A and B are shown apart, each in its own frame.
Chain A
Amino acid sequence: MKKNISGKLALITLQVLLLPFLTGCWSSHEIEEVSLEIGIALDKGYLSNIDKEFEEQDGGYQKNNNITITFQTVNTKGIGNNSKGGGSSEQHSYLNVSETGDSTFQIVREIPLRRDHPIIGHHLKVIIISEELASNYSIKDLLDSYLRDNDIRPSCLVLISKGRASNALETNVIGEIPSFRLTKMVENGYRSNKILPAMPLAKLTGKIQSESSFLLQNVISADGEVKLTGAAVIKGKTNKVVGFLNEEELEGITWINGKVKGGVVKSSVKGQIIAYEIKSMKSKILPHINSGDITFEIKIETEGRLSENWVNRGKPSDNKFLREIEKSIEAEIKSLMENVVQKMQNDLEVDVAGFGNKLKIKHPKVWKEVKKDDWDVTFSKLPIKYNVEVTVADYGAVSSD
């Protein structure tokens, strides 16, 4: 009798153990059945022709047409053809699809209504926001769904675009994917000092929450080509774009906050062009408190190489000539910084170069007092001193004129 009961129990257990195979797998979605989105562009709302047609046919829903999001996904059909040994197809390797609405998350969930593969955001690399949108809406609201999403990784970069953001996601070169191109461009900071260090979503959160003003790299596009030009200034209190810095001004900023990894300073001696290649630089912002008055001193030390010399009879092997060059470079750097500080203090009334941060670190008690008022406004009135030291360490393979 006991054996029979145990035998029956055994059978029941076996049947129960087989149950999981009936349920199917809840979360499994084959990789070829989803679209991987790699880039997003947010623009001010406009309706494309197809959208208008759909609306005429009653294809609309309850929304305000505030934001148009363009999603860039990889065109797998094009890649699939290539790998099977076919000839070079004329298809682009990417697909862009746009959708308009007012909630960024709802817009993403509209895509499954229009495409066979729903979009998943695991591989999102870059988010481009147009200046039009960002000056009217706070960045915090625009990016909120992306910060909350579990799919989207906080390593995703954020850029501002001066014109239409979706244009930055186009290219004329077959086989090139614009999102990857942008991502790689931002990493070129070691060759140029006009590129800001990349701002991933993770760092952006901190900046937004701290209500301090900051910069985001600006990208402009024309006819399938893009260029990283300057930066957009976002004011801390409102988190909206209030202005732009052009390339030179951005250069000044990178000199001030010491984030230069490489690049060139062009100047002139005796009216001729010389170019100085930056090998390394150090920047120190020193806040000084004199009986309640705050002044800042910026100390820059840099070492580099003379890379281009158009000066007649300029002998790099002669230290005197080198001194001339150094002085000229120092003056150039100083003027770059002065320019941008002027713009920050007078035109835009923001502190995007990190002066407040340095004050907080060096004199925390003073910072506590000052923070009660608007630091951006306070900063605009403070005097700043500059101190630049350039060393030309060598001059390449040509030692004399």
Chain B
Amino acid sequence: MWKTIASFLPDWLIIIQSLIIFLIPYFIWRFFIYIRERANIATIKQESENSQENTCNFTGNLNSDLKFIKKEIGHNSDVHFREFNIGNTGIHAVIIFIEGLSDKDLIDKYIMKSLMIDFSNENISAFMTEEGFNNIIKQQVLSISDVTNTQNLNDLVMKVLQGSTALYIDGSADVFILGTTKGKTRSIEEPISEALVRGPRVGFTEKLSENTAILRQQGNIKSLSFIKFQVGKRGNKDLVVAYIKDLANPDLIHEIEKRIKKIDIDYLPESGYVEQLIEDNYLSIFPQLQSTERPDRVISALMEGRVAILLDGTPFALIAPVTFSMLLQSPEDYYERWIPSTLIRLLRFLAAFIALLVPALYISFISFQPGLIPTKLAISIVGSREGVPFTVLLEALIMEVSIEILREAGLRLPKPIGPAMGIVGGLIIGEAAVNAGIVSPIMVIVVALTAISSFAIPEYNAGISLRVLRFMAMFCAAIFGLYGVILFCLFLCSHLVKLKSFGIPYASPAVPFNLNDWKDFIIRVPLMMMKRRPKMMKTKNSIRQK
């Protein structure tokens, strides 16, 4: 009897293997904790270094304050100081503005004119007290729409550097900031990266105020709200969070505001920085915010209860939260009728599947399980692979890496050569490689199919994610064959269901299962039937149409 029990006791080898099976994920887990800790320590450190804000205030004495201001920004060649007297009163005043950024017309015609020439003597009586004088200037004299006050040097400098004009009146510590910003921007044209067949040909520009204007103009929505933040310690930029007040979930808005306030970096050149700093899981391959240049996309997202983030200086707006289904959708789906939209959407899902798995499946079938492909196909593959010196994995890698290099190169080439190079390069390289006996013709077909499918994905960052994943899938297939591909898919699905974008599970609306949300997932039901907003967004008001 002892013998039978002993025969069930595990072997030494098995005990060692069980130790390995425990240690490896344990180390990986510690590794990830280590990485996350490093990221968090960095932010905490930065937050504790509270930058000493310049809290210099003005005194009211024009000469000393002017010296102050000139010390700060006077050395710049484009800052101009214009001293003058206000009307007949003899009171000194200075305007400070930046050439090129401020509207010269406005300054000349409305500020200087109304202060110097049109200043009527009746108001002199009220200039006894400081407050009175400034008030009158503001309320009766200055015919400018955008007027604010400040007493802070830093504030003044920042505003002047953005294009406003500072009006300093001797005797008052309150400085007027007049909004005269008028920078040069480009005209509104269709975004190149997201061209559609049907839809408005409007895209965002680099100026934040124009972008918000476009949103208001396009949507004409009463409860569209914009909240402004200043981000960037050295390079101060405006950031606007847009949402529809009576639709968006207030928890979502709070969460986004909280994360934006946490951003502590000295300069944000593009909204991509914002995206990377506020997303849930920066180690994941999948993007958790969507970037777009199209205002119609933004407005549709807002109407679903999402939130948009616009940054000054870039035409790319961010939409949060994002779910996996949004990565494969395009606004055209809604502008066309439901049958072609549904079919094209199905095609896109198929294309995504192909782009991800076909090379991996090819490797696994050829190297590991030739019994799973049809006999005639197997025979022709064997025939075509007779002279090829490399293993399937290497062949696939060579072709895939070449295509990726071609793609990158095509982006950098000047416009006339770019597309031609892509096509010609692909054909010639493929043909030449087959003739040289480096790759087999079937490999060329597989790779071409994959490349074309990855172009069919409407979102650029989703396309990038799939490209990276394709390589991982190929490696998994090369080690374990079909089983490796299965494990890879399971791992990917596990990651997808764990990922959350601002509280919404990333894999919605597939899961959690909600029949209503499926109306817009793989198929697109007729518009008449899409009566409710997506349930996963937990909006305040869910009725779209009755």
Contact = CB atoms under 8 A, between A and B. Distances in A.
A381 interface: no
B370 A31 contact: yes
Contacts of A12: 27
B380 A153 contact: no
A36 B386 contact: no
Contacts of A123: 370-371, 375, 378
Contact of A74 (B33, B34, B379, B392): B379
Contact of B34 (A9, A36, A38, A125): A9
Given A25-B478, A25-B479, A122 B371 contact: yes
Nearest to A29: B367
B382 interface: yes
A37 B273 CA distance: 59
A6 B478 CA distance: 32
Contacts of B388: 32
Nearest to B375: A123
Contacts of B392: 30
A77 B24 contact: no
B382 A28 contact: no
A151 interface: yes
A13 interface: yes
Contact residues of B: prevailing secondary structure? helix
Contact residues of A: prevailing secondary structure? helix
Given A16-B24, A38-B375, A76-B379, A30 B367 contact: yes
A341 B61 CA distance: 129
A34 B370 contact: yes
A186 interface: no
B391 interface: yes
Contact of B478 (A7, A28, A77, A79): A28
Given A9-B34, A12-B27, A36 B481 contact: no
B100 interface: no
B491 to A, nearest CB: 14
A6 B30 contact: yes
Given A29-B367, A31-B367, A10 B382 contact: no
Contacts of A7: 34
Q: Which of B24, B37, B371, B391 has the most CB of A within 10 A?
A: B371
A82 interface: yes
Interface string B24-36: 1001101101110
Assign chain B's interface to a size class: 35 or more
A27 interface: yes
B200 interface: no
Interface residues of A, number: 35
A79 B34 contact: no
B371 A77 contact: no
Contacts, number: 98
Interface in B336-381: 366-372, 375, 378-381
Given A16-B24, A17-B28, A38-B375, A79 B383 contact: yes
A396 interface: no
Contacts of A16: 24, 27
A79 B380 contact: yes
B371 A153 contact: yes
A336 interface: no
B382 A76 contact: yes
B378 A32 contact: no
Given A10-B34, A123-B371, A83 B366 contact: no
Interface string B55-97: 0000000000000000000000000000000000000000000
A83 B379 CA distance: 12
Nearest to A152: B371
B249 interface: no
Interface string A60-91: 00000000000000101101101100000000
B41 to A, nearest CB: 9
Interface in A225-251: none
B30 A9 contact: yes
Contact of B31 (A10, A32, A120, A151): A10
Interface in B474-499: 478-481
Interface in B98-139: none
Interface string A187-225: 000000000000000000000000000000000000000
A60 to B, nearest CB: 32
Given A10-B34, A28-B481, A80 B370 contact: no
B385 interface: yes
A292 interface: no
A387 B420 CA distance: 77
A59 interface: no
Interface in B377-423: 378-388, 391-392
Contact of A77 (B35, B384, B385, B386): B386
A151 B367 contact: no
Interface string A9-27: 1101110110011000101
Contacts of A9: 27, 30-31, 34
Interface in B414-465: none
Contacts of B382: 31-32, 36, 74, 76, 79
A79 B366 contact: no
B385 A31 contact: yes
A92 to B, nearest CB: 14
Given A13-B28, A31-B378, A25 B367 contact: yes
Contacts of B371: 120, 122-123, 151, 153
Given A25-B479, A28-B478, A123-B378, A80 B383 contact: yes
Interface in A94-126: 120, 122-123, 125
Contacts of A74: 379, 382
B374 to A, nearest CB: 9
A38 to B, nearest CB: 7
Contacts of A76: 379, 382-383, 386
A72 B392 CA distance: 26
Contacts of A83: 380, 383-384
A32 B375 contact: no
Contacts of A122: 369-372
Given A20-B479, A120-B371, A125-B375, A31 B387 contact: no
A38 B369 CA distance: 16
Contacts of A27: 368, 481
Contacts of B369: 122
Contacts of B37: 6
B338 to A, nearest CB: 43
Contact of A80 (B375, B387, B481): B387
A32 B481 CA distance: 16
Nearest to B25: A13
7 closest A-B pairs by beta carbon, nearest first, are A122-B371, A79-B383, A80-B386, A6-B34, A13-B27, A28-B367, A32-B385
Interface of A: 3, 6-7, 9-10, 12-14, 16-17, 20-21, 25, 27-32, 34, 36, 38, 74, 76-77, 79-80, 82-83, 120, 122-123, 125, 151, 153
Given A10-B30, A83-B384, A120-B371, 12 more contacts: A9-B34, A27-B368, A29-B368, A31-B378, A32-B382, A32-B388, A34-B370, A76-B382, A82-B383, A83-B380, A122-B370, A123-B370
7 contacts: A7-B34, A25-B480, A28-B368, A31-B366, A34-B370, A36-B379, A83-B383
